[in-house]
Structure 1
Amino acid sequence: MDDDLTPPSTLTTDAASAHGAAPAHGAGHSRHLRPAGPGRRRLGLAAGAVVVTAGIVAAAATGASSGTAVDPSGETMPTAVAAGWTRAFSEDFAEPTATGGFEQPYADRFSVYHGFADTAGTGRYSASALTAHDGVLDMRMRTTAGGTPLAGGIVPLVDGKWGGQTAGRYSIRMRSDEVDGYGVAVLLWSDRNVWADGEVDFPEGALGAPAWLNVHCLAAPAEKCVHLETAASLKDWHTYTIDWTPQRMTFSIDGHEIASTDKDIPVEPMHFVVQAGSLGGVPPKESDGSLLIDWITVDVPKG
């Protein structure tokens, strides 16, 4: 079910802004990262801002084995909520849809990106890239017959409404194929669509490559005050969690804390976004593969 899409060069930023998408989408600025060379691990930190948990990053690299169609990742969506938090959103994609038909059946739970350029500016977001099947959301990246690379993006509707929070606990369980020329960013993004309000990307990276943590500096959002390659691979099933309070942001993989920071913490409302699309340049036409999401939960502070 491939749409005959208008080339991305004809798109404006208006549609992107309406979906709460980053200005980089319309400007064609890529924020995804291509795979580093074998054995490379880059770490860029603002002095005193971040604590990296020793001995945990390597342990996080082991993914759970595949489960059943009901529990495809081997880990059921948790129902327990930590003290001081309340569950505001949860989705395990148990309701299957027609191929490319995710948007309408899930309209009360997600805002779906559609009709504007992806972050790199070479692909185009389309609802036809999204299908729920076998207990997962499948974001299938490929090039249409008309030559347009497809991209997919979703925003959970917390409490059934579009809009974010000023604190939250966000978890996503996901994996991807290795798809040349495509990447993913799971991020917190400004409700006002103002980059200086903050941007937190976790996980982020090329599909099938190492997962990265990136926290952009509030004073200079083009710079990353936290820039950390984790030992987890996006090709394996992992659970990624962002704990955001006014005092500190903490980042975990499979329940193991890998880093935390008390600097560059957003104070304006931010919403949770999952977006997959092309990297810088045009992906090979033969590239075809999926980002699979087993479940997403969002908790907010009580009161």
Structure 2
Amino acid sequence: MRRILTTAALAAGLLLAGLTAPTAEAAPTWHLRYADGFNTAVAKGRFTDCDHNHDTKAAYCGGLSGSVRAAWWAYPKGWPDTATQWHYPVGGYYDPATTLWISGGQLHIRMWRGASGPVHSAVVVPKALMGQRYGRYEERWRVSKAEVGYKSAHLLWPVADADCRNCEIDFPEGNWAGSVNGYAHHRNSIGGDQDAYDARVRWSDWHTTVISWEPGSVTLTIDGRTVGHSITAVPDKAMSWDIQNETALEGASPKPNTSAQMDIEYVKAWSWS
């Protein structure tokens, strides 16, 4: 008959043998902070009047109502995207009313360019996650209509740049017609140094991406596979999760009368204990 040792007896035996008893598994370090499966429909044209208390948890879009207004903010109409700020030949301006809506359990982001003029870009921000120091950020998405000249840079961005110069974590990032990439920018680097990773997948398939940002460590995963891990000058100040979609910064510019669309099935985020 097999002899069953009690925990105390096992520990005593290990001590006599000069070994250490096994310890209990460490408690989880993540606590679910926010989740949204986009089950409340919002018609296109309702993400309006967003220039209220911007970049704070008190920000809101006056055209929204109920739980969506309480949970989400969008960059206001007329704010320039990165390509415009960098004086590219074709840039964009954020225009939430014409680019954002929720239906069928998904947040839809459709950027577009008319016969001439700028791109209409979109950034949405979950307010519960503004100003969080460390965290785990997960989303499931696909680009259902790809087009040259449109991109994403879903990023963690510092609340105060003066507190954390060049702090930035981007994933997923890249042109929608290319490959999915990720970047971990080094804290307070003079030349904007960063660790760069190629996930080697296309935007047109459904993917689940995760940013895990811990003290001294950034890990990027896609569909359960680690594509990047950085321990170099990891940001240590509060940041917000900006789900940014805009004019591409590499390759050809968006052609006139084109559009491209991303669908997001859910977002989840955890705080660090």
Where 2:70 maps in the other structure, the secondary structure is coil
User: 1:123-272 residue pairs with structure 2 within 5 A?
Assistant: 123-128=92-97, 129-144=99-114, 147-158=117-128, 163-176=130-143, 177-194=145-162, 196-220=165-189, 222-272=191-241
Of 289, 295, 300, the match for 2:266: 295
Uncovered stretches (5+) of structure 1, i.e. residues with no partner: 1-81
User: In 2, distance between residues paired with 1:142 and 1:100?
Assistant: 15
Once the two structures are superposed, residues 80-116 of structure 1 have per-residue CA deviations (whole angstroms, 9 ceiling, x without a partner) of xx92221111111111111232451422111201221
Matched, 1:118 2:81: yes
User: In 1, distance between residues paired with 2:158 and 2:190?
Assistant: 12
Where 1:107 maps in the other structure, the secondary structure is helix
Q: TM-score, normalised by structure 2?
A: 0.74
> 1:144 deviation in Å?
4.2
Higher relative contact order (CA 8 A, sep 6+): 1
User: In 2, distance between residues paired with 1:135 and 1:144?
Assistant: 28
Q: Is the 8 A contact 2:184 2:218 kept in 1?
A: no
Uncovered stretches (5+) of structure 2, i.e. residues with no partner: 1-26, 48-60, 85-90
User: 1:86-97 residue pairs with structure 2 within 5 A?
Assistant: 86-97=31-42
> 1:218 deviation in Å?
2.1
Q: Is the 8 A contact 2:114 2:257 kept in 1?
A: no
Instruction: Say which structure is richer in strand.
Output: 2
Cα RMSD of the aligned pairs, angstroms, is 2.0
- 1:297/1:225 CA distance change after superposition, 3 Å: same
Q: Is the 8 A contact 1:197 1:267 kept in 2?
A: no
Q: TM-score, normalised by structure 1?
A: 0.67
User: In 1, distance between residues paired with 2:92 and 2:175?
Assistant: 15
Which entry has the higher C-alpha Rg, 1 or 2? 2
Count residues with an aligned counterpart: 218
Once the two structures are superposed, residues 36-75 of structure 1 have per-residue CA deviations (whole angstroms, 9 ceiling, x without a partner) of xxxxxxxxxxxxxxxxxxxxxxxxxxxxxxxxxxxxxxxx
Where 1:158 maps in the other structure, the secondary structure is helix
List 4+ stretches of structure 1 deviating above 6 A: none
Identical aligned residues as a percent = 27
Give the aligned residue type for 1:118: D
